[in-house]
Amino acid sequence: MQPRFLAFPQGFWWGSAWSAEQAEGRGNTGKGRTQWDMSWDRDPHRFYHGVNTDITTDFFHRYRDDIQLMKQTGHNSFRLSISWARLFPQGDGEISPAAVAFYRDMLQEMNANGIKPFANLYHFDMPEAMMLKGGWENREVVAAYVNFCDACFREFGDLVFHWFTFNEPLGPVLGGYMEDFHYPNVIDFKRGVQVGFHTLLASALAIKAFKTHQLPGKIGIILNLSPTYPRSEHPADVQAAKYADLFYNRSFLDPAVKGTFPPELVDTLRRHDLMPQYTEQDLQDIRDNRVQILGLNYYEPRRVKARASAVNPDAPFMPDWYFDSYVMPGRKFNPHRGWEIYEKGIYDLCVDIRDNYGNIEAFISESGMGVANEERFIREGQVQDVYRIGFIQNHLAYLHQAIQEGCNIKGYHLWTFIDCWSWINAYKNRYGLVSLDLATQQRTVKKSGEFYKALSDENGFYFNGLYVDF
């Protein structure tokens, strides 16, 4: 096959993403405790190799050097998060001047080096004081969050390119109330529905506050979306896929972009007595304050089939009362993370946004491949992660096709920049363009980091066909 050059639109955002809790470390600003400290106190055995969030990648102390590494790996943009617990150690009350100074200096440094800051305002890091009030189950916490957002717009509005209210708001619902991997680790879908509703309300109210500041950038939300594929065209399989898509994609996508909830979802929640508490004003605020830009996190597809067995009526309600997961024979698979690799899913996702969500301005806000024991691939002091280069190229080929077909996609952000701490799994799987030595905090650019620099400089790459050796 003759290589062909895939050129991306002028001004395309090349970069990566991570969060405050996963990269900053505690620092010395008097940062408040978060839900992860609470989880560590209660269940330290759940944290891989006993590594918590005290140090992580120590970006707090190393951000000037790390921003130079961003330039060295081709970044013209970068998504970080602002820690609510750093800015307001108790979640509300007095703002921390030291935290404001830290973030202003760091954001100025990024801008001075030609890197557009994308600021996310919540990435799974509830302040402990707010968690003790019930977290997103409590309306008071919604008000405190909006106050935090308003402070961020005021203090950093001149330095941030685009804003995002939440990263993967489905995550705290899944982890905290359905699948037992986030604090508070309860199994109660109705409480999870309330958390989801209050999160969407908080996002809308933050957007409402943003509008009052008349800032130059846009504000949106970042959603983890997995295109849903039925096992077959059998009507029962198709219906199963419809329900999976409803619960896991459209539940947040529709209200965020369209301002309304899918009627089928509302009917299903009513049927099982799972409706949240809300007011008509809440619904009006969600309708009136929709996102202006959409971040798309894509890692894997969702494949489902009709249920093969009856539901236990005494078991707690879960969405999979309506479907079973399906493992497609012959799938490409990342054994380290346990996820299917299906590059065409990124194309299908973009086309769905184009056709069903007004072709809203969007970008790939996360895409990445976690691999364990990457030391195996060190040659002459560098991780030779050709598998990651192939993964990126394959996805970008489909993304390029989507853009050529009219999808309004403005950028691609990889997860992640430097190997960072992951929820519970710590540093088990490495995702970075830059490797991290945990003992010394030494950073070394991987082979993929060199590729990413060339990709950004050339605003495209020569494509030889799908890389298959994962």
Q: Are the C-beta atoms of 322 and 200 separated by less than 8 Å?
A: no
Strands 116-120 and 434-436: unpaired
d(CA 325, CA 304): 4
Given the residues 21, 300, 343, 366, select the one marked as catalytic: 366
- CA angle 143/145/148 to nearest 5° reads 115
Q: Are the C-beta atoms of 36 and 24 separated by less than 8 Å?
A: no
Cis-peptide into 416, omega within 30 deg: yes
Q: Any catalytic annotation for residue 179?
A: no
The full DSSP string for 94-119 is: S--HHHHHHHHHHHHHHHHTT-EEEE
Alpha-carbon distances, residue 24 vs 54, 117, 320, 355 (angstroms)? 9, 16, 36, 39
Beta bridge partners of 305: 324
Q: Are the C-beta atoms of 284 and 269 separated by less than 8 Å?
A: no
Beta bridge partners of 120: 81, 164
| Number of residues that make up the chain | 470
- Coil/strand/helix, residue 77: strand
Q: Any catalytic annotation for residue 109?
A: no
d(CA 169, CA 199): 7
- Residue whose structure tokens are 């400290």: 37
Q: Are the C-beta atoms of 6 and 455 separated by less than 8 Å?
A: no
Given the residues 155, 168, 300, 340, select the one marked as catalytic: 168
**Pick from 424, 439, 458: which is nearest to 171 by CA?**
424
d(CA 470, CA 468): 6
Tell me which residues are annotated as active site. 168, 366
